[in-house]
């Protein structure tokens, strides 16, 4: 975003230093706001407003564009703000309350996937990277803040403090475990459900899961529209280990949501 007057920055820095010592223990286990194994450049600099904010882009040479990339929750929490700001530079932005005085803020989003009041899991998609702002013409990037009791802190991901003030690549460990804790329950009329190598019935059958099985959902992909136990949906759930393709239709999976519950595959 933009630059603060130097005096204001100095005051913000002082407040951050005073708070950080107490804050560390109460912090959730924040992860990068991107899907497992995604590599992003974190850019921090003296004068970034507010102090300690992080701007994030895909690394140079990455074929995927920064704009439109999936943003996920750094930790579980409740969405307290999801709106377009007409009077700040944030544009489309989302604030998640993680409890214990901790919040995360995500700005300039191209789109917002969750509304205020929604509960989100760690690793759940909350929006897409963009360049929206009522005040600035921006190149697409994610503006990200970890906030404790109203003051932006130096960010920590996966227990590792970011190195300020330099540009550095970081690799997301968000929900890299078995499904990142996102689970669903298979519900059919009784028969086992086919597991496909891709998000559609034209893909080969590679496995099956019994009715009533609990599955870990690592990521989700848009594919063939399927009508099942829970209505009609084009979301397919990847229940395979990292790097594998094992998909079942969300229309036969109870996740507690008709929308996305895991990052894009
Ligand atoms: Zn920024």
185: domain CATH number is 2.30.30.40
Gap from CA of 124 to ligand 1 centroid (Å)? 22
Gap from CA of 119 to ligand 1 centroid (Å)? 25
Structure tokens at 118: 């929604």
Q: Is the same domain home to 48 and 155?
A: yes
At 175 the pLDDT is: 83
Of 147, 171, 195, which one is at a domain's C-terminal end?
A: 171
Q: Is the same domain home to 68 and 199?
A: no
> Torsion angle of alpha carbons 186, 195, 113, 96, nearest 10°?
60
Gap from CA of 67 to ligand 1 centroid (Å)? 15
Gap from CA of 155 to ligand 1 centroid (Å)? 13
> Is this model's pTM higher than 0.75 or not?
no
At 134 the pLDDT is: 97
Q: Which residues of the chain have pLDDT under 70?
A: 1-26, 177-181
At 9 the pLDDT is: 43
Gap from CA of 108 to ligand 1 centroid (Å)? 9
Nearest to 73 by CA among 39, 43, 25, 28: 28
- Give every strand in the sheet of 219-228, ordered side by side: 205-209, 193-196, 247-249, 231-238, 219-228
Asked if the structure places residue 263 within a domain, the reply is no
Q: Is the same domain home to 69 and 140?
A: yes
At 26 the pLDDT is: 62
d(CA 7, CA 93): 27
Strands 142-148 and 151-153: antiparallel
Gap from CA of 48 to ligand 1 centroid (Å)? 6
Q: Is the same domain home to 151 and 30?
A: yes
- 199 — phi, psi (to 5°)? -85, 60
- Give the number of other Cβ atoms within 10 Å of residue 197's Cβ: 15
């Amino acid at each position: 975003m933009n630059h603060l007057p130097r005096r204001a920055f100095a005051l913000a820095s002082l407040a951050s230093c005073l708070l950080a010592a107490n804050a560390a223990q109460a912090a959730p286990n924040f992860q990068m706001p991107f899907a497992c194994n995604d590599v992003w450049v974190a850019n921090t600099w003296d004068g970034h407003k507010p102090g300690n904010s992080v701007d994030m882009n895909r690394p140079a040479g990455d074929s995927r564009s920064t704009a439109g990339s999936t943003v996920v929750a750094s930790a579980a929490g409740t969405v307290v703000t999801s709106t377009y700001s007409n009077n700040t530079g944030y544009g489309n932005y989302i604030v998640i309350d993680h409890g214990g005085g901790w919040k995360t803020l995500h700005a300039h989003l191209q789109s917002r996937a969750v509304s205020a009041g929604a509960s989100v899991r760690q690793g759940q998609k909350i929006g897409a990277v963009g360049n929206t702002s009522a005040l600035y013409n921006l190149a697409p990037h994610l503006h990200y803040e970890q906030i404790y009791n109203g003051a932006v802190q130096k960010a920590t991901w996966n227990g590792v403090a970011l190195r300020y003030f330099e540009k550095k690549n970081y690799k997301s460990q968000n929900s890299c475990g078995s499904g990142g804790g996102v689970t669903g329950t298979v519900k059919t009329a009784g028969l086992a459900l086919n597991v496909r190598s891709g998000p559609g019935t034209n893909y080969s059958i590679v496995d099956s899961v019994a009715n009533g099985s609990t599955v870990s959902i690592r990521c989700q992909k848009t594919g063939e529209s399927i009508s099942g136990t829970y209505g009609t949906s084009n979301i397919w759930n990847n229940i395979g280990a990292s790097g594998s393709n094992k998909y079942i239709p969300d229309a036969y999976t109870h996740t507690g949501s008709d929308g996305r519950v895991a990052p894009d595959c």
